[in-house]
Amino acid sequence: MFRLLLLIATLVPAPGFAADTGVPAGSVQQVLTRSPAAVATEPAPHPATLRFFNRDIVTLRSPYFGLSPAGRAENGAQRLHEAVAKGGAGDVTMVKTAEGLTVTIDGAYVFRILEGDLDADDGQTFDAAQIIVGGRLREAITAAHSSKRGGELLRAVGLSVAATLGFALVIWVVTRARRWIRGGIDARLARRTRMAKEERAAVLRLLQSFGHVVFVAVGATLAEEWLRFVLGLFPYTRPWAEHLTGYVAGIVGNVSGAILAAVPGLVMVAVIAGLAQLGSKLLRSVARGIEAGRFRLLGIDADVVHPARRLTTAALWLFALAMAYPYLPGSGSDAFKGLSLLVGVMLSLGASGLVGQAAGGFILTFSRTLRAGEWVRVGEVEGAVVTVGMFSTKVRTFSDEEVSIPNSVVLGTVTRNFSRPTAAAASILETSVTIGYNAPWRQVHAMLLEAAARTPELEHEPPPHVLQTALSDFYVQYSLRVRLQNQLRRPAVLSALNANVQDVFNEYGVQIMSPHYRSDPPTAVVVPKERWFEPPARSERQT
């Protein structure tokens, strides 16, 4: 019976123990009743640091009766604040027990350091922990008491204001001295050297850059000293002042180490960029040779060598970028990968139209649909091609207006090219008239050919010819086709040809009108045979 009572007393903890640890009694019972397998499968808890008044007191690594290190640190910090807030002397007592190192302040329990909380890597013992943690705790309590003394705070504020004014004064003096030294150097260079103005300006810029580096270094050193002094005046920010130099040195060391580690990769990037630049210059030299007609390569004509060079150069630099990408500093980081993915998505979504226009420009160039200087009609736009660019085609119209047409529109629209050489190797110009059935067609043919003969800047071989393109209800449509000597003179030549057509028809008394009827005429509208060869038409017997 005695053994049973002893077992029950062991398994059921006292209420004071649960309150002392900050763990409810039910939680303690749950911890004691868990199986060893469940405990073995739990992940190791994350360490937590107990902080008080902006200072690290102790790092807790081990759970305690179901309470994680973070929970233990939170409860310990709360009890520490409560103990200091009572206004006691702040006597720290650390007693070693069977469970660990128990810490009290003015007799009030604060936290406990367990064996699992000791730093096993450094071989830390309870004696060492007692010295270190006790010193930190006493320093933090002393700083907390000092922050409540109004006289010390006023003194700290006054010294910080004075230090700030002194720092500003020193920076002003250094800035004025920098300007004075720069002006003196410029004046001395102007008096005692025979350098040209441009050379003197280059030397002065070099000295100014060096002076700027020195000024930044001096300013950064003064700023660090000022900040350390001001932070050290206040009890709460004093730890920041103590660790400021180490923090800055750590940043400088990390940056310097990163730069040194990136040097081999940057050298490789420079080598790849140099090779790409060399290849680009080689492509430029080859393109100039083809344009000058010194040689031919892979059947590339001179009119497509420029866009071919641009396309090849772009492909070369894209390949160089892909090769240099792994050597860029930070290319393997998740941030760099995410940024690359974001840029790729933005380009894919936002530049689809741009890529389509560029692809259209290359298709137009390499398919030779259009060339600069040719006379074309794209939809309703007619004129001479100025340029076939990567994204648009520029056409100069009759009215001397430059129209920019997107390349995708050119590809999707019927394009008439009046300048492409045929068997006659000349561009065709066409004009049409409609004449009634009462005019002999032979006479109309002859008058149109005579108008063509009077028009300058037309080719005579092959000779102009006339086609009857339609026999409409009330008139015949005649089409005069001639060939131009200069395709870019198309508007002026067409105007002169139409003027000569009017003159010739007026000379022979044939009106250029298309008759329409509301009722049947009294006689048939035909040409008698004796009028078939009206001037300037010649009789077939004469020919």
- Per-residue pLDDT of 56-67, as tens digits, reads 999 999 998 888
Same domain for 440 and 404: no
| pLDDT tens, position by position, 135-165 | 999 999 988 888 888 888 899 999 999 999 9
Confidence of residue 169 (pLDDT cuts 50, 70, 90): very high
Q: Which of 375, 397, 417 is the last residue of a domain?
A: 417
Whole-number pLDDT of residue 163: 92
Predicted local confidence at residue 524, as pLDDT: 58
Residues 47 and 107 in one domain: yes
Q: Are residues 140 and 19 in the same domain?
A: yes
**Boundary (domain end) residue, out of 121, 146, 171:** 146
97 and 48 in a common domain: yes
Whether residues 137 and 34 fall in one domain? yes
Q: Report yes or no on 281 lying in a domain.
A: no
Same domain, 104 and 213: no
Top-confidence residue, 364 or 95: 95
Q: Which of 159-173, 286-300, 366-380 comes out lowest in average pLDDT?
A: 286-300
Q: Look at residue 40 in the predicted model and tell me its pLDDT.
A: 47
The 10s digit of each residue's pLDDT in 278-293 is 999 998 888 888 777 6
Task: Give me the pLDDT at residue 423, please.
Answer: 47
Q: Are residues 448 and 407 in the same domain?
A: no
* pLDDT classification of 10: cutoffs 50, 70, 90: very low
Rounded CA gap, 439 and 532, in Å? 9
pLDDT value, residue 452: 93
Q: Which of 318, 254, 239, 188 is nearest to 55 (CA)?
A: 239
Regarding whether 374 and 431 lie in a shared domain, the answer is no
Q: Which domain holds residue 388?
A: 356-417
Asked whether residue 169 falls in the same domain as residue 51, the answer is: no
What pLDDT, in 10s, does the model give residues 28-40?
Answer: 444 444 554 444 4
For position 477, which CATH number holds? 3.30.70.100
The predicted structure's pLDDT at residue 421: 61
The pLDDT of residue 9:
42
Residue 311 placed within a domain: no
| One-letter amino acid for residue 430 of the chain | E
Distance CA 393, CA 373 (A): 12
Q: Is 95 domain-assigned?
A: yes
Residue scoring higher pLDDT (424 or 52): 52
Residue 169 lies in a domain: yes
Look up the CATH number of the domain holding residue 368.
Answer: 2.30.30.60
543 vs 264, more confident: 264
Residue 61's closest CA among 120, 138, 139? 120
Contact 236, 147 (CB under 8 A): yes
Into how many domains does the chain fold? 4
Q: Is residue 206 part of a domain?
A: yes
In a domain, 76, yes or no: yes
225 — alpha (psi -120 to 50), left (phi > 0) or beta?
alpha
Identify the sign of the CA torsion 109, 115, 120, 124: positive
Q: Are residues 472 and 408 in the same domain?
A: no
Does residue 495 sit in the same domain as residue 433?
A: yes
Q: How confident is the model at residue 455 (pLDDT cuts 50, 70, 90)?
A: very high
Calculate mean pLDDT across residues 198-207: 76
Last residue of a domain, one of 213, 236, 259: 236
Q: Percent of the chain scored above 70 by pLDDT? A: 82
Q: Average per-residue pLDDT in the chain? A: 81
Whole-number pLDDT of residue 8: 42
* Measured distance CA(307)–CA(287) in Å, rounded: 10
297 occurs within a structural domain: no
Higher pLDDT, 220 or 521: 220
Q: Which residues are CB-contacts of 280 (< 8 A; sequence separation ≥ 6)?
A: 313, 316, 317
Residue predicted with more confidence, 500 or 305: 500
Q: pLDDT category, 41, cuts 50, 70, 90? A: low
Please check whether residue 329 lies inside any domain of the structure.
no
Domain identity same for 394 and 433: no
Instruction: State yes or no: cis peptide before 47, omega within 30 of 0.
Output: no
